[in-house]
Structure 1
Amino acid sequence: MVDSKLDDQTDAWQRLAGKISPLILQAPKTGGDPLDKWTKVHDKLVCYLERNALGKPWADHLALITAVMMAHHLQVNTILGALRSLNSRWDNLFPALGLQTLADWEGKKHMRMYLEVEVLPEDSPVTRVGFWRNYRTAVNHTHRWLKSLPEAVQENYRPFILPYIDSREVEGLTRDKEIQERQRQKRKSETDALMPHFLRIRAQAHLRYNKMCRLRSCWFQALQTIAEQNLPFPFAFSYEEGQERLHFKVWDRRSFVMAHASDYHSRSVWKAAEGVAAFADERNRPFLEFIKAERLSDEASPEGLWFEDMLRVGVVGQAGQRIEDQELAEKRQSWLRNWGYGEEGSDKMSAPFRVSVSEVLSWSHKDAVFIAQAQIKAKGVFIPVEAFYVAAVFGLLAVELFTTTGMRINELLQVRLSKDAFTRVEIPPTAAGQPPSFRHVFHLIPKGERTDKPHDYFIAQETTRLLVKVAKMLQEYYAINLDNGESLPAVPFNPSHSRSHRFRDAPYLFQYNYTHFSDRDITACIRFLLHGMVFKTREGKLVVLKAHLLRHGFANHAVQVEKVAIDIVGNWLHQKNPDITWYYAQATETQISEASDLFLARLSSYFNLGEFITRSPEELRQQREDALKRIGTLNPVNGGDCTFHSPCIHGLTCNGCVHKVPDPSKRYQVEKKLSWAREELEFCNKENLRPEAEQLKELIRRCEVELLEMDQIEHYQEDENRDATICIE
């Protein structure tokens, strides 16, 4: 299956007829050229021009830039970014500079004024540099296009070409390197804050998901008990969660209003008593109130539910409701800033838990208003059980994929279980009489891949198990039978994503209510699931979780902790530029400060430093030939499942490898390797074989880390199998 939608484009460009200059509409060597076939302008770009540029002094210029850059095969999201930057800055620059038309725009003069902060002082350095870069790109493409035309034709189009600015004219004003270095230091500081918790993040996500499953199970038990025994509302129950007992009440609309009659208008009380209007049978849905948590065996403060404070403040569960109460809005923003979301003193409203998909992390629109009003009158907090469960399921799968494959969020959004995108690979047995084993692999198109050729992303057994859970949840929700060959609904790739133009409607796994998730939706689910985990920089600044930060953490863990070579990590991350991989994987300040002579000795004995920095093409070719039969995904590996489908330069020395997902059922293999390493270390110390001893110490450390990971996996797997039974109160 070819994913790209570019070939499906109708000539959306013609919608601009009568709205832009006819010369530009039919410009030669562009998609509008009636005499030749060039790449047509994508509908997404035409829509942007229609909504944001038409009628402005620069509309024709932006339209020509769009057509030319499209003809030069730039990616749609790259062109869209340039249009947004140019259009938004001119919106502010023209009134600030007193300009009326683009004929008034003096490129060199006005660009210098902007970069020297003589105008629009509120713009950030990043915004200024972005405008300059996009202007330069647009100018370079249009000037190159103009020169390719016959001289007689050039004169017709010269009025629509932006003034050229020599880069030397603004040299030193853009501060590109300074800004880039500041951004990199910020990301490095955030990665530094994340790394001490990297292994714990995955385990915590599983434990939180297990808690949510038990809450949902008890909710269903309560509803079943009420129905079978014909019990009245409210219905009180509790259940044990670890060392605590959690107390709840099940209400319906009528019972809640009647119990809080003094807080409601008399007409609402009458409607509740009569069961009419908003209290009619079809609208009288039950809902759950969390009352309190109490310790069972000591006087410590109860932990309760990790999301209770989010519900009390009202930053989740609100279904996109507008907040009219400014005091309440500021209270919520203050709470969010205390958790690291948003900037102090900023006017921008932060909404880190907002999800655009209906009934995920929020009440349905049918219940949102009633619940919001009832929450003011309640002592406890109302929990949208199913909406939180759905968010937990998707959040867990996202965390699992990010921390075990290092994939980007746009690659995660492509995940689907159809035959063209998800396959099972049979691994031949290594000995006679052994059955074959199987591995699962996603076929996804990474960022930067201009063709429609997918790349392979191998996953471990634990991830496969989670995929089954998500598929079952969606199967129940959509009332379909995947086992009988039915498929999830084919939904459009989220239109807000910059790469949406490349993908057709498909049964994407990250969907709900017939809507594909966006980047922000995935991030919100992760933040919800891991709320309460605190990450701080060395300066004490809170760091918030983002998918891309987990990707940086994956790369850092691979290189700095597991000592995997840069080019291999780049292959895992599907990055073409090794410099980018090196930036991702750079040691953090904490890692540097904790380094010691012993660490350096161990590092230098583990791999050749010269090889780490650079290797010649001939060396790489020879290495590849030598490694052809050493592909982890096609071989059994010690202690787990390999997800790296390329030759392994370490000869399948797999203990502690970041691309191997530990399997607790293979614990004995790691323990045996650890026992052997300890015996060998004792021998090497006696013989004063220091390099070999350092290598063995590293192997021992890696085995111990792997056993710790197995402990965490076993813990959340055992926790997952623990049932909860309600106690009627």
Structure 2
Amino acid sequence: MSRSTEDVTNLLERLPGNVDEEILSLESMFPNWKWEAIPQQVSNYFVRNCLGKPWTNFLALSIFVDTHYDKLVPASIFAFLNTMHVRLEALFNWYNIARLNAFDPVRHIGEYMQLQNDVLPNHTVNMRAKFYSHYKGTTQRVFQFINNQLSDQKRSGLISFLLPPLVDNGRFSLRGEAQDQAKETRKDEVEAIVPHYPYIRYLANMRYNIIKRIKKKYQEALGHVQMNNIDMPFTFRYEDQEDKVEYEFKLWDRDSFLAKHPKVGVAKDNVCFLEYIGARIKNEQIEDVDLWFNELFLNKAYSTNANEAYLKEHGYTKSSFVSQQAGIVSPSRFVAQIVSHVEGVFFEVEPIMAACLFGRLAIDVLTTTGARMNELQQINLGPKGMVPLQLPENRTLYELNMIPKGRIEEEHYYVSETTWEMIRETVHYLMEHYNVQKASQIPVVNFNGTRDALLKPKPYIFQLNNFHLNNSSVQACMRFILHGYTLQTNNGDVVNIKAHLLRHAFANHMVHVMKQSKDMVRELLHHKNEIVTYYYSQATSEQIQEHVMDIGKALDAHYKYSQVLRTPEELEEMMGENPIGAYLEVTGGTCVVSAVCPAKLACVGCAGKVPDPAKKDQLIKFIEHNEKSIEFFKSNGQPIEVRKLRNGNMNARKELEEITLIETYRKDATYDPKLTLS
């Protein structure tokens, strides 16, 4: 795992004077255990957030023990550190505790875990249960290390820095309550997302197109300035959204900005960046034309110094937009400090471009395959990472090979040419980023996430600066590109879109909107247990209400909402011994189901089909044919057949709506506005 010299130096320089020498000297007792080996994400967080606290020494000891003695993966060490620091800070502030020896876990954590005491009332049951688990685990690991590895003399020297273990025999645990609350919360959030599911993909694509045009016009303006030796700042404009809005920017570099604003500070390297001046509306019907990320930069959402009130108002946490990978979302230090001295929106193009590129790809894959975050992170350019599958009529489908949760062998995930185009665009970006001529020259990097012991170094797609993007970095990209598109539960709570929530929404969308059997959804989600698929695809309260109203009108819909799972043997009996297989051309798209057809050949509306705008006319003709057949069955007094045909037309119209969204963002992607130079 790569790591900058600056990060290592920053950690080693900040420890003396902030961490007690008794703890720092552990390095000399164990020759192969070095402070500089603490994972980068962990050491950066510790230095930025945990110094000067009553619990600083304990957390320093815990990350040293977790790294070298327990050998936890970096993601786990960071999770323990983050939870411990944030919750301890909240508890110490709540109880006005100033010294470590005044902290009594049985009293303070005990009262925190008993909901009737109303300690920190804004904390959820899940937050409390997580802290309880992490506190017990961390203190136990540290005490085990001290008791097993240190002499009595060394042990006595560390005792004053230790947090007392929590001996409660499990009576404070809220695990059951946390699980029940998490299920209810997830269900409410899924209910908020499902109606907007196709639009989420559409929005990510449209915003990526906006950033791509900003980058292109920025490069044109910069080239013009450099070629003609023009002094900065330099103003340029261009018309966007098919000439309906005119955006205006000012191009700066370090020297020109310091000449105008000498109090901002200094920077080692020259850097070019943009100041957003504003947007002029040419069509009064257009609303909210400002760049969607303006407020994020005004409130420094990308940094640990973010405006917490603003983040909380929008349902975010302090770290929602903080990428652990440099070069994503957050600008350089020089540009970041400008907002503290000068009003305005200042940003570098590349960090935003990278965030939107990875965010768009993540959202597309997660919403079209139902993959987990860990599986998404596995997409790679290795020999078997992506396999093109040739279909009839010179068409191609792509097979991604990833290892699902709970497995040790790769399984297939199928994506369309649309998704592959996004992957290919990401590959070209990485080639430009690394200044290489071939995709095969993109670096092989260590996997940075859970199960990294199983996953070998590969040329992963989600990488930047020779470093694989971890979970939090990809999530930050997703939040960034979707920011401002606010979804709320029926209770008014803001829904923070996360990868796992999209997976639940995918299952629900497939079963209750696309009318797919749970057997098919189980295959798509790569679940081993059908009970898990049932939990993921549970109907929302709104869907249940709509279903109850429709029972009297369409009895056949009852069976589509049934909770009875059909076994593969039952499907074989219904279908005979002729599986459909993957990659066949069907009405409106391409079938990607590589098993016996669980949709009983009802291809229109099937989640196992990849919609294809080139086959739009097929769906239109399908609807026209059904309308004629409806009249025939009406005249013959066959209402059940009429209902089947109408249901087919409803599914076809849903697919046409999705195809329209695809056509819209594809058209938008080719739009090249005219640049106006001042």
Rate the CA distance shift 1:599–1:407 in 2: closer, same or farther, 3 A: farther
Alignment-derived partner of residue 453 in structure 2: 501
Alignment-derived partner of residue 359 in structure 1: 327
Residues 518 and 565 of structure 2 are in contact (CA less than 8 Å); yes or no, is this contact kept in structure 1? no
1:14-413 paired onto structure 2 within 5 Å:
125-126=125-126, 177-242=176-241, 243-258=244-259, 260=260, 263-264=261-262, 283-298=269-284, 303-316=289-302, 320=303, 323=305, 329=306, 332-342=307-317, 350-364=318-332, 368-369=333-334, 371-413=335-377
Write the distance in 1 (CA, Å) between the matches of 2:86 and 2:229: 61
Rate the CA distance shift 1:82–1:690 in 2: closer, same or farther, 3 A: farther
Distance apart, 1:135 and its partner CA: 12
Residues 217 and 724 of structure 1 are in contact (CA less than 8 Å); yes or no, is this contact kept in structure 2? no
Distance apart, 1:193 and its partner CA: 1.0
Write the distance in 2 (CA, Å) between the matches of 1:338 and 1:187: 20
Distance apart, 1:489 and its partner CA: 0.4
Distance apart, 1:226 and its partner CA: 1.3
1:465-544 paired onto structure 2 within 5 Å:
465-482=421-438, 486-494=440-448, 497-544=449-496
Alignment-derived partner of residue 556 in structure 1: 508
1:375-454 paired onto structure 2 within 5 Å:
375-427=339-391, 429=392, 435-449=393-407, 451=408, 453-454=409-410
Partner AA of 1:196 in structure 2: P
Secondary structure of 1:500's aligned partner = coil
Cα displacement string for residues 416-438 of structure 1 (whole angstroms, at most 9, x for unaligned residues): 022122112233x4xxxxx5533
Alignment-derived partner of residue 26 in structure 1: none
Worse overlay, 116-125 or 387-396:
116-125
Distance apart, 1:605 and its partner CA: 4.7
1:581-592 paired onto structure 2 within 5 Å:
581-592=533-544
Residues 519 and 598 of structure 2 are in contact (CA less than 8 Å); yes or no, is this contact kept in structure 1? no
Write the distance in 2 (CA, Å) between the matches of 1:17 and 1:372: 36
Write the distance in 1 (CA, Å) between the matches of 2:560 and 2:444: 50
The number of equivalent residue pairs is 589
Secondary structure of 1:688's aligned partner = coil
| TM-score (norm. length: structure 1) | 0.71
Write the distance in 2 (CA, Å) between the matches of 1:540 and 1:119: 25
Cα displacement string for residues 140-185 of structure 1 (whole angstroms, at most 9, x for unaligned residues): xxxxxxxxxxxxxxxxxxxxxxxxx9x9x979x8665543222111
Residues 252 and 284 of structure 1 are in contact (CA less than 8 Å); yes or no, is this contact kept in structure 2? yes
Partner AA of 1:460 in structure 2: S
Rate the CA distance shift 1:179–1:676 in 2: closer, same or farther, 3 A: same
Partner AA of 2:325 in structure 1: V
Write the distance in 1 (CA, Å) between the matches of 2:473 and 2:621: 44
Rate the CA distance shift 1:235–1:688 in 2: closer, same or farther, 3 A: same
Residues 126 and 181 of structure 2 are in contact (CA less than 8 Å); yes or no, is this contact kept in structure 1? no
Rate the CA distance shift 1:194–1:615 in 2: closer, same or farther, 3 A: closer
Rate the CA distance shift 1:257–1:95 in 2: closer, same or farther, 3 A: closer
Write the distance in 2 (CA, Å) between the matches of 1:225 and 1:678: 58
Alignment-derived partner of residue 462 in structure 1: 418
Rate the CA distance shift 1:53–1:264 in 2: closer, same or farther, 3 A: closer
Residues 579 and 595 of structure 2 are in contact (CA less than 8 Å); yes or no, is this contact kept in structure 1? no
Partner AA of 1:337 in structure 2: K
Rate the CA distance shift 1:237–1:81 in 2: closer, same or farther, 3 A: closer
Q: 1:675 aligns with which of 610, 616, 624?
A: 624
Write the distance in 2 (CA, Å) between the matches of 1:515 and 1:133: 31
Worse overlay, 211-220 or 379-388:
379-388
RMSD over aligned Cα, in angstroms?
A: 4.4
Secondary structure of 1:250's aligned partner = strand
Residues 341 and 544 of structure 1 are in contact (CA less than 8 Å); yes or no, is this contact kept in structure 2? yes
Residues 273 and 346 of structure 2 are in contact (CA less than 8 Å); yes or no, is this contact kept in structure 1? yes
Write the distance in 1 (CA, Å) between the matches of 2:621 and 2:543: 30
Q: In the alignment, is residue 660 of structure 1 matched against residue 660 of structure 2?
A: no
Write the distance in 2 (CA, Å) between the matches of 1:112 and 1:534: 36
Rate the CA distance shift 1:250–1:542 in 2: closer, same or farther, 3 A: same
Write the distance in 2 (CA, Å) between the matches of 1:306 and 1:80: 31
Write the distance in 1 (CA, Å) between the matches of 2:486 and 2:435: 39
Secondary structure of 1:502's aligned partner = coil
Write the distance in 1 (CA, Å) between the matches of 2:593 and 2:569: 23
Write the distance in 2 (CA, Å) between the matches of 1:190 and 1:212: 29
Write the distance in 2 (CA, Å) between the matches of 1:704 and 1:294: 36
Alignment-derived partner of residue 154 in structure 2: none
Cα displacement string for residues 3-26 of structure 1 (whole angstroms, at most 9, x for unaligned residues): xxxxxxxxxxxxx99999xxxxxx
Rate the CA distance shift 1:19–1:119 in 2: closer, same or farther, 3 A: farther
Rate the CA distance shift 1:208–1:693 in 2: closer, same or farther, 3 A: same
Alignment-derived partner of residue 645 in structure 2: 696
Residues 111 and 119 of structure 2 are in contact (CA less than 8 Å); yes or no, is this contact kept in structure 1? no
Partner AA of 2:313 in structure 1: N
Cα displacement string for residues 638-697 of structure 1 (whole angstroms, at most 9, x for unaligned residues): 212334333222233221223323111110111111111112222222323222222112
Write the distance in 1 (CA, Å) between the matches of 2:287 and 2:104: 63
Residues 252 and 285 of structure 1 are in contact (CA less than 8 Å); yes or no, is this contact kept in structure 2? yes
Residues 460 and 643 of structure 1 are in contact (CA less than 8 Å); yes or no, is this contact kept in structure 2? no
Distance apart, 1:513 and its partner CA: 0.7
Write the distance in 2 (CA, Å) between the matches of 1:478 and 1:256: 29
Write the distance in 2 (CA, Å) between the matches of 1:79 and 1:238: 47
Question: What runs of 5+ residues in structure 2 fail to find an aligned partner?
Answer: 1-25, 31-37, 44-56, 92-99, 138-166
Distance apart, 1:699 and its partner CA: 0.7
Query: Which is higher, the Rg of structure 1 or of structure 2?
Result: 1
Residues 251 and 286 of structure 1 are in contact (CA less than 8 Å); yes or no, is this contact kept in structure 2? yes
Distance apart, 1:304 and its partner CA: 2.0
Question: What runs of 5+ residues in structure 1 fail to find an aligned partner?
Answer: 1-15, 21-42, 100-104, 106-110, 138-164, 269-276, 324-328, 343-349, 430-434
Rate the CA distance shift 1:465–1:307 in 2: closer, same or farther, 3 A: same
Rate the CA distance shift 1:678–1:174 in 2: closer, same or farther, 3 A: farther
Distance apart, 1:446 and its partner CA: 0.5
Write the distance in 1 (CA, Å) between the matches of 2:310 and 2:426: 32
Write the distance in 2 (CA, Å) between the matches of 1:378 and 1:689: 73
Alignment-derived partner of residue 39 in structure 1: none
Distance apart, 1:619 and its partner CA: 2.3
Secondary structure of 2:453's aligned partner = helix
Cα displacement string for residues 185-210 of structure 1 (whole angstroms, at most 9, x for unaligned residues): 10011111111211111111111111
Cα displacement string for residues 426-459 of structure 1 (whole angstroms, at most 9, x for unaligned residues): 33x4xxxxx553321011001111x2x1010011
Write the distance in 1 (CA, Å) between the matches of 2:487 and 2:499: 15
Distance apart, 1:76 and its partner CA: 12
Worse overlay, 667-676 or 652-661:
652-661
